């Protein structure tokens, strides 16, 4: 669902609150956080979607890495996971076994354990997981702490939505998706550990709302503005070309509409590049708002380690909630 429609539905619900619930559902936080005692909080999230790659085992890996990502975006450690499966038996049970095996291997890599699941018959397959993690609330990373002067650090390239659309249209083949697939099945665990060791306290993960949509949630939660430097945003090879070929997923347009007037372009920006900033991502990178003095060391550590394409993509500035897109980096 697009972020605009979702917000409309959620705003109609009476959100009950208890003192132990320390995450704000309405602020666009990545996961729910429930305090167990003063040093321990339970972090809960879930995510599932239809296949975006052709290979079932890889799809399972990507879906699991994506579901685990919200836990890492909170600075938490995943402990248990439940499988969520919708599947048409006509596709063959061996296909389902492969999907689950991919998910299982990824969860094992994260250090968590699968404790069960639920399956329904559905004509279009869908897979995902509900994941539970633990965090010390004092070490938790939230979405609402961005402060003027912070540098915005993105850990993975953007473009999985456009490339998946192009794959579906057979404008590209599986081989052209290789880099994006590798990125989507890579856990955000190592990046989250580096964020934590470099004092990052404000973080979200880039998924369905696209870089622009998730950055908007971050600036709105923090009551600040941001500059986004379009050419500094890493893109997977082929993303711009396929965007120009009209391979933009419908969700991209919904994301762009959601941010609406809160985004403006300073000077000029290639319209396709602009739209790529709203491409819905599957298992995208972490977006951290990092104090300027730590940004350089964090980027070096990310690039030299788990995230070779990590980049400083913008900065937080004073002002009313909005995003200014500049093609070039501002100094």
Partner 1 sequence: MSADIDIDCSGLTCPIPVIKTRERIAEGGGAFSVFVDNDAACENVSRFAGNSGCSVEVSSVEGGFIVRVTPGEKAAEAAEPLPVTRQVPAGDKVIFIGSDELGRGERELGTALAKAFLYACTENEDRPSKMVFMNSGVRLVTENDETVAHVKQLEDGVSCVTTACLTERVQVFLQSALNL
Min CB(272)–partner 1 separation in Å: 8
Judged by CB under 8 A, does residue 97 bind partner 1? no
Separation CA 107–CA 187 (nearest Å): 10
Q: Using the rule CB under 8 A, which residue among 111, 173, 308, 319 binds partner 1?
A: 173
Tokens of 39: 């040093």
Judged by CB under 8 A, does residue 5 bind partner 1? no
Min CB(143)–partner 1 separation in Å: 27
Number of C-beta neighbours around residue 266 at 10 A: 13
Tokens of 172: 């590209």
Is residue 99 within 8 A of residue 59, CB to CB? The reply is yes
Judged by CB under 8 A, does residue 240 bind partner 1? no
Nearer to partner 1, 166 or 298 (CB): 166
What is the Rg, in whole angstroms, of the alpha carbon atoms belonging to the chain? 19
Q: Give the residue from 28, 47, 67, 75 showing the smallest Cα distance to 216.
A: 28
Judged by CB under 8 A, does residue 263 bind partner 1? no
Q: Using the rule CB under 8 A, which residue among 53, 67, 100, 166 binds partner 1?
A: 166
Q: Give the residue from 104, 106, 98, 109 showing the smallest Cα distance to 57.
A: 98
Choices 72-80, 111-119, 238-246, 302-310; region in contact with partner 1 by CB under 8 A: 238-246
Judged by CB under 8 A, does residue 2 bind partner 1? no
Nearer to partner 1, 104 or 168 (CB): 168
Is residue 26 within 8 A of residue 14, CB to CB? The reply is no
Judged by CB under 8 A, does residue 320 bind partner 1? no
Judged by CB under 8 A, does residue 246 bind partner 1? yes
Question: What x-and-dash track marks residues 47-76 binding partner 1 by CB under 8 A?
Answer: -------x----------------------
Judged by CB under 8 A, does residue 308 bind partner 1? no
Judged by CB under 8 A, does residue 270 bind partner 1? no
Find the largest Cα–Cα distance for the chain: 57
Place of tokens 């633990």: 134
Choices 38-46, 88-96, 196-204, 213-221; region in contact with partner 1 by CB under 8 A: 88-96
Choices 23-31, 135-143, 146-154, 236-244; region in contact with partner 1 by CB under 8 A: 236-244
Judged by CB under 8 A, does residue 331 bind partner 1? no
Choices 133-141, 227-235, 247-255, 303-311; region in contact with partner 1 by CB under 8 A: 247-255
Sign for the CA dihedral angle at 255, 145, 155, 26 comes to negative
Nearer to partner 1, 59 or 229 (CB): 59
Judged by CB under 8 A, does residue 238 bind partner 1? yes
Q: Using the rule CB under 8 A, which residue among 5, 7, 20, 88 binds partner 1?
A: 88
Min CB(239)–partner 1 separation in Å: 12
Judged by CB under 8 A, does residue 178 bind partner 1? no
Separation CA 285–CA 207 (nearest Å): 8
Distance between alpha carbon 161 and the CA centroid of its chain, in Å? 12
- Cα dist. 324→59, 183, 275, 314, 316 in Å? 35, 27, 14, 10, 10
Q: Tell me, what DSSP letter sits at residue 103?
A: H
Is residue 236 within 8 A of residue 160, CB to CB? The reply is yes
Pairing state between β 32-37 and 40-49: antiparallel
- Total number of residues binding partner 1 (CB under 8 A)? 29
Judged by CB under 8 A, does residue 233 bind partner 1? no
- Full strand arrangement of the beta sheet holding 151-154: 202-205, 286-290, 151-154, 311-317, 225-229, 323-326, 263-266
The C-alpha angle with vertex 208 and arms to 207 and 213, in degrees rounded to 5, equals 90
Task: List contacts with partner 1 (CB under 8 A).
Answer: 54, 88-91, 121, 123-124, 165-166, 168-173, 176, 238, 243-250, 252-253, 272
């Amino acid at each position: 669902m697009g972020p605009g429609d979702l917000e409309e539905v959620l705003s109609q619900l009476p959100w009950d609150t208890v003192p132990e619930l320390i995450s704000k559902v309405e602020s666009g936080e990545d996961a729910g956080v429930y305090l167990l005692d003063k040093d321990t909080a339970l972090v809960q999230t879930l995510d599932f979607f239809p296949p975006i790659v052709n290979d079932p085992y890889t799809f399972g890996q990507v879906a699991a890495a994506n579901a685990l990502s919200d836990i890492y975006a909170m600075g938490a450690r995943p402990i248990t996971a439940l499988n969520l499966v919708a599947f048409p038996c006509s596709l063959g049970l061996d296909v389902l076994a492969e999907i689950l095996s991919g998910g299982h291997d990824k969860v094992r890599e994260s250090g968590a354990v699968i404790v069960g699941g639920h399956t329904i018959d559905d004509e279009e397959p869908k897979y995902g997981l509900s994941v539970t993690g633990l965090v010390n609330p004092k070490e938790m990373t939230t979405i609402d702490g961005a402060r003027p002067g912070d540098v915005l650090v993105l850990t993975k390239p953007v473009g999985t939505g456009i490339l998946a659309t192009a794959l579906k249209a057979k404008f590209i083949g599986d081989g052209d998706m290789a880099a994006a697939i590798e990125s989507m099945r890579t856990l955000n665990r190592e990046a989250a550990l580096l964020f934590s060791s470099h004092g990052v306290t404000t973080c979200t993960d880039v998924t369905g709302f696209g870089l622009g949509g998730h950055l908007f949630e971050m600036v709105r939660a923090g009551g600040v503005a941001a500059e986004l430097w379009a050419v500094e945003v890493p893109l997977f090879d082929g993303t711009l070309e396929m965007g120009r070929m009209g391979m933009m997923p419908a969700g991209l347009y919904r994301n762009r509409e959601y941010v609406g007037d809160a985004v403006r372009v300073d000077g000029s920006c290639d319209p396709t590049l602009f739209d790529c900033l709203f491409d819905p991502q599957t298992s995208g990178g972490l977006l951290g708002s990092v104090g300027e003095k730590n940004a350089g060391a964090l980027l070096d550590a990310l690039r030299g380690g788990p995230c070779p394409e990590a980049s400083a993509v913008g900065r937080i500035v004073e002002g009313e909630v909005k995003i200014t897109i500049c093609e070039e980096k501002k100094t």
